[in-house]
């Protein structure tokens, strides 16, 4: 029989054994957003207020389309993690599971819509 101290069992594991992984995911997406959002603002700015044809021509170029897609996808992944933490902290019982599933479906659905819209504009 192996003897493990409480500290040895807890190192690297939160109460649900996924706390460290979730924390690092939020840190990585935050850093990625800190880089991507300024790029998105500066690539979205010239297109703002343009006609439909100008927008299609602008997002047909790879750089603005890739920056927009990456910013939206990373933002929605960060949103999913943040909302999941919020729900886990403040909602209890069966409602917690239902809301977490709903938030995950909402974020992935929004990501699909964003990708479809950008691909539609780019092609």
Cα(35)–Cα(31) distance, integer angstroms: 7
Residue 3 has pLDDT above 80, yes or no: no
DSSP secondary structure letter of residue 68 = H
CB of 121 closer than 8 Å to CB of 55: yes
Q: Going from the N-terminus, what domains does the chain have, and what CATH number goes with each?
A: 17-122 (1.20.1300.10)
Cα(21)–Cα(79) distance, integer angstroms: 16
Residue 123 has pLDDT above 90, yes or no: no
Instruction: Quick: pLDDT tens for 44-91.
Output: 998 999 999 999 999 999 999 999 999 999 999 999 999 999 999 999
Note the pLDDT of residue 11. Answer: 66
- Look-up of token digits 């479809």: 116
Cα(29)–Cα(82) distance, integer angstroms: 11
> What share of the chain in percent tops pLDDT 90?
76
pTM of the full structure: 0.81
């Amino acid at each position: 029989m192996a003897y493990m101290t409480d500290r040895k069992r807890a190192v690297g594991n939160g109460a649900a054994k996924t706390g460290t992984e979730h924390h690092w995911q939020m840190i990585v997406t935050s850093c990625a957003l800190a880089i991507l959002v300024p790029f998105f603002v500066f690539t979205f700015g010239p297109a703002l207020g343009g006609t439909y044809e100008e927008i299609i021509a602008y997002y047909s170029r790879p750089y603005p389309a890739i920056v927009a897609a990456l910013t939206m996808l990373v933002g929605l992944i960060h949103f999913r993690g943040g909302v999941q933490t919020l729900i886990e902290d403040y909602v209890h019982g069966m409602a917690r599971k239902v809301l977490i599933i709903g938030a995950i479906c909402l974020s992935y659905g929004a990501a699909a819509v964003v990708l479809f819209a950008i691909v539609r504009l780019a092609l």
